[in-house]
């Protein structure tokens, strides 16, 4: 009898111990269903970088207090994740171009007729910064961490926190909302090194280009001056064989 | 002759390798055309102007007047590119200069002094009435073949990295430290044949530039120059060497490098008889205010010497301090404004010029500006020798 009691007590003790251990493990383990943040970020980048070598046109319309006040046009040529070349097409900026090679960036101004080195802080100038136009491969520039899942409108979204991992990153920290269904970017918040929330973004429209779903329109909101926003519209997206010498900093004989 | 053979050989090699390297991937459009049109109306007031008179009119006492100069500039430019290989580009400027405020009547000339009167009229001619000028800033044809690029024609080339000074920019247009950005876009290129080879991070340029079409007063020679440029560990570095026909051989080294989030460092060292050195830095604050500082020391040789410096003055030392803020977005209603101010100084004679610029944009095509220059120090000093006490320019710019 006492042997049965011993077995029962042992079984009960082991059961209770196992239950407690399971509860502890469940409460301390990673959140169930936590996604692979790196893979998610790479997948989301494909909505803005559909090919390894391509060109696109960007139209940026600035609004101040709800009124349109300026419009700018750019042609962006991108090769791989490290090389971007931006030609400025709007009347006031015609003749200017910008080159980004990994962490290094130059701007060519017609009145100086030579490439000028740009510091990372200068990339932030403008409603839509130089980096917003030329550097859109977040997986290369940032280390992502999954934070939580929450709703943006009717869509369930993963919230990632991106921390800059290289000098070439435009922002120090980004909070990035990606749709659970297809990793499509939905919303973003951009922060400086000081922790200041400088901009927010909504990713408004996608369209199929050559069988690939690509971002067509997104909006940047100035969080310092709340009455200012910039709408970035992409068009003419096409794969293009781009020569390496297009991305050479010493050339000034561009358009 | 030897140089012409070299260029021909390069051209043949480049075109043959380029044909072999073609592939079937989507390439650039069949042709591309870009154009710009800029129209500027610039009104400049030169306060307390004392015009420099020729020796033959030396007995006359120059009056102090306010000279009004209006410049209307029309500057069209275009580039046409065919099959990503051939290109044709041109940039010209038509200038109508009108002057008011200065005439021979301002001078007290005795009726019988015909020589002084003639000399005076000749000296004042550039500052009276209306003059039309036409400038070909650039006009060239280019061929891109594989890793090679060739061009022939007039072209603005800038190899220097300095903002206000550029000792290594052997083919650069003359740099005016009080107007380093050439605010009216009047700089002209040099006539040249140029070959570039770009492969990976390496770039080689070979240039032969002719001085045959340049005015004699420009004091330019036929120049053969070579540059090797490489980006290594963030250093954008160039080695320059060359020779002026009938003049000196020269060599130079330039680099730029960005450090951290806010600092850019640039430097030039050039050797032509003696060494000239430039060291400069740019710092950008988180609010977008940029500061540029430069220190430049050229030798007092014929090539580097400014016309206002005595040949006996020895090595000179210059400094620049520049601060600018593009788009004052932090101030309500000031988003369309750009402001900048700078001081350029000669440390040896302690003369300097203060410069202030303000620009306001209107819509996508129009802008207006104010440019103010105030030279200080004695009339025999480097910057104090400007014949006016202040130069104030206001203007309107239209861009298409």
The ipTM estimated for the assembled molecules is 0.77
Residue for token pair 């500006």: B369
Instruction: Please give the pLDDT value at position A45.
Output: 92
Instruction: Please give the pLDDT value at position A255.
Output: 44
Residues whose CB falls within 8 Å of the CB of residue A38, separated by 6 or more in sequence, listed in order: A139, A144
Using the Cβ of B338 and the Cβ atoms of chain A, whether some distance falls under 8 Å is answered with no
**pLDDT band for position B21 (50/70/90)?**
very low
Interface of B with A in 211-250 (CB under 8 A): 229, 231, 234, 236, 238
Query: What is the rounded distance in angstroms from the CA atom of residue A81 to the CA atom of residue B145?
Result: 26
Q: Is B200 helix (H, G, I), strand (E, B) or coil?
A: coil
Q: Are B373 and B396 in contact (CB under 8 A)?
A: no
Chain A residues with beta carbon closer than 8 angstroms to that of B185? 110-111
Q: Are B264 and B276 in contact (CB under 8 A)?
A: no
* Residue B194: closest CA among A112, A74, A66, A250: A250
Is A104–B234 a contact, with Cβ atoms under 8 angstroms apart?
yes
Pairing of strands A142-152, A173-179: unpaired
Pairing of strands A142-152, A155-164: antiparallel
Which DSSP category does B2 fall into? H
Which DSSP category does A32 fall into? T
Q: Is A182 helix (H, G, I), strand (E, B) or coil?
A: coil
Query: What is the rounded distance in angstroms from the CA atom of residue B178 to the CA atom of residue B199?
Result: 37
Is A118–B399 a contact, with Cβ atoms under 8 angstroms apart?
no
Q: Which two tokens stand for residue B329?
A: 């977005």
Is A249–B157 a contact, with Cβ atoms under 8 angstroms apart?
no
Query: What is the rounded distance in angstroms from the CA atom of residue B127 to the CA atom of residue B228?
Result: 44
Query: What is the rounded distance in angstroms from the CA atom of residue B251 to the CA atom of residue B273?
Result: 10
Which DSSP category does A92 fall into? G
Q: Is A110 helix (H, G, I), strand (E, B) or coil?
A: coil
Is B261–A193 a contact, with Cβ atoms under 8 angstroms apart?
yes
Query: What is the rounded distance in angstroms from the CA atom of residue A63 to the CA atom of residue A61?
Result: 7
Is A250–B198 a contact, with Cβ atoms under 8 angstroms apart?
yes
DSSP string, B363-398: TTTEEEEEEEEEEES-TTSTTTTSSSSEEEEEEEEE
Using the Cβ of B65 and the Cβ atoms of chain A, whether some distance falls under 8 Å is answered with no
Chain B residues with beta carbon closer than 8 angstroms to that of A92? 361, 364-365, 367, 399
**pLDDT band for position B22 (50/70/90)?**
very low
CB atoms under 10 Å from CB of B11, counted, come to 15
pLDDT tens, chain A, 255 aa long:
567 777 777 777 777 677 667 656 655 554 556 789 999 999 999 998 889 899 999 999 988 888 887 888 999 999 988 888 988 888 888 888 888 888 888 888 776 656 788 876 676 555 677 778 777 789 988 999 999 999 998 999 999 999 998 877 888 899 999 999 999 999 999 998 888 898 999 999 999 988 899 999 999 998 887 788 889 999 989 898 888 888 887 765 554
**pLDDT band for position B279 (50/70/90)?**
very high
Render pLDDT for B351-382 as a digit per residue (tens, 0 to 9). 999 999 999 988 888 999 999 999 988 777 88
Q: How far is A144 from chain B (nearest CA, A)?
A: 21
Q: Are B284 and B262 in contact (CB under 8 A)?
A: yes
* Residue B7: closest CA among B271, B208, B291: B208
User: Which neighbouring-strand residues pair with A76?
Assistant: A56, A86
Core vs surface per residue A70-97: b (16+ CB within 10 A) or e: bebbbbbbbbebbbbbbbbbbbbbbbbb
Instruction: Please give the pLDDT value at position B9.
Output: 59
pTM summary value: 0.80
**pLDDT band for position B24 (50/70/90)?**
very low
Is A245–B161 a contact, with Cβ atoms under 8 angstroms apart?
no
Out of B284, B363, B367, name the one closest to residue A122 (CB).
B284
Residue for token pair 């500039």: B73
Q: Which two tokens stand for residue B39?
A: 């129209």
Core vs surface per residue B76-100: b (16+ CB within 10 A) or e: ebebbbeebeebebbbbbebebebe
Average pLDDT, chain B: 85
Query: What is the rounded distance in angstroms from the CA atom of residue B303 to the CA atom of residue B131?
Result: 31
Is A252–B327 a contact, with Cβ atoms under 8 angstroms apart?
no
């Amino acid at each position: 009898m006492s042997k049965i009691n011993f077995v029962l007590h042992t079984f009960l003790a082991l059961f209770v111990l196992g239950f407690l251990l399971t509860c502890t493990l469940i409460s301390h383990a990673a959140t169930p269903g936590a996604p692979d943040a790196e893979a998610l970020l790479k997948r989301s980048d494909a909505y803005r970088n559909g090919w390894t070598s391509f060109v696109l046109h960007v139209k940026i319309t600035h609004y101040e207090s709800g009124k349109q006040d300026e419009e700018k046009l750019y042609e962006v040529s991108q090769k791989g994740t490290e090389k971007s070349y931006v030609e400025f097409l709007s009347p006031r900026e015609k003749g200017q171009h910008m080159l980004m090679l990994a962490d290094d960036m130059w701007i060519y101004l017609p009145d100086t007729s030579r490439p000028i080195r740009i510091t990372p802080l200068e990339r932030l100038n403008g409603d839509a910064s130089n980096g917003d136009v030329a550097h859109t491969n977040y997986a290369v520039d940032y280390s992502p961490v999954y934070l939580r899942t929450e709703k943006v409108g009717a869509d369930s979204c993963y919230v990632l926190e991106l921390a800059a991992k290289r000098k070439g990153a435009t922002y120090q920290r980004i909070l990035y909302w990606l749709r659970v269904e297809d990793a499509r970017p939905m919303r973003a918040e951009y922060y400086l090194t000081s922790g200041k929330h400088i901009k927010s973004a909504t990713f408004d429209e996608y369209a199929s280009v050559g069988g690939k779903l690509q971002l067509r329109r997104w909006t940047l909101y100035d969080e310092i001056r709340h009455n200012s926003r910039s709408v970035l519209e992409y068009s003419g997206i096409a794969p293009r064989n781009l020569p390496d010498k297009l991305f050479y900093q010493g050339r000034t004989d561009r358009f | 002759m030897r140089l012409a053979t070299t260029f021909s050989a390069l051209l043949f090699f480049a075109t043959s390798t380029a044909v072999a390297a073609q592939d079937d991937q989507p390439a650039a459009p069949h042709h591309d055309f870009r154009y710009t049109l800029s129209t500027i109306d610039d009104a400049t007031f030169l306060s307390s102007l004392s015009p420099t008179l020729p020796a033959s009119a030396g007995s006359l006492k120059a009056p102090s007047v306010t000279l009004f100069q209006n410049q209307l500039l029309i500057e069209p430019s275009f580039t046409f590119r065919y099959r990503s290989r051939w290109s044709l580009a041109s940039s010209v400027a038509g200038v109508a200069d009108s002057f008011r405020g200065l005439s021979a009547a301002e001078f007290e000339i005795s009726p019988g002094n015909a020589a002084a009167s003639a000399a005076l009229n000749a000296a004042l001619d550039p500052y009276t009435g209306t003059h039309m000028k036409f400038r070909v800033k650039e006009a060239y044809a280019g061929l891109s073949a594989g890793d090679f690029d060739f061009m022939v024609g007039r072209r603005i080339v800038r190899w220097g990295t300095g903002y206000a000074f550029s000792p290594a920019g052997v083919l650069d247009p003359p740099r005016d430290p009080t107007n380093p950005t050439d605010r009216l876009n009047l700089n002209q290129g040099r006539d040249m044949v140029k070959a570039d080879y770009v492969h990976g991070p390496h770039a080689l340029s070979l240039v032969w530039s002719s001085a045959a079409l340049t005015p004699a007063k420009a004091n330019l020679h036929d120049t053969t120059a070579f540059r090797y440029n490489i980006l290594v560990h963030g250093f954008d570095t160039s080695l320059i060497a060359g020779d002026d026909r009938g003049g000196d051989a020269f060599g130079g080294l330039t680099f730029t490098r960005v450090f951290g989030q806010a600092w850019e460092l640039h430097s030039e060292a050039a050797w032509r008889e003696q060494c000239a050195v430039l060291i400069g830095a740019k710092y950008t604050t988180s609010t977008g205010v940029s500061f540029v500082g430069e220190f430049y020391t050229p030798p007092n040789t014929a090539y580097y010497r400014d016309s206002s410096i005595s040949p006996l003055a020895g090595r000179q030392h210059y400094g620049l301090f520049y601060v600018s803020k593009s788009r004052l977005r932090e101030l309500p209603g000031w988003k369309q404004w750009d402001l900048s101010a700078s001081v350029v100084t000669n440390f040896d004679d302690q003369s300097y010029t203060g410069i202030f610029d303000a620009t306001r944009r209107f819509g996508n095509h129009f802008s207006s500006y104010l440019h103010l220059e105030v030279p200080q120090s004695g009339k025999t000093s480097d910057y104090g020798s400007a014949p006016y006490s202040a130069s104030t320019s206001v203007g309107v710019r239209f861009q298409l």
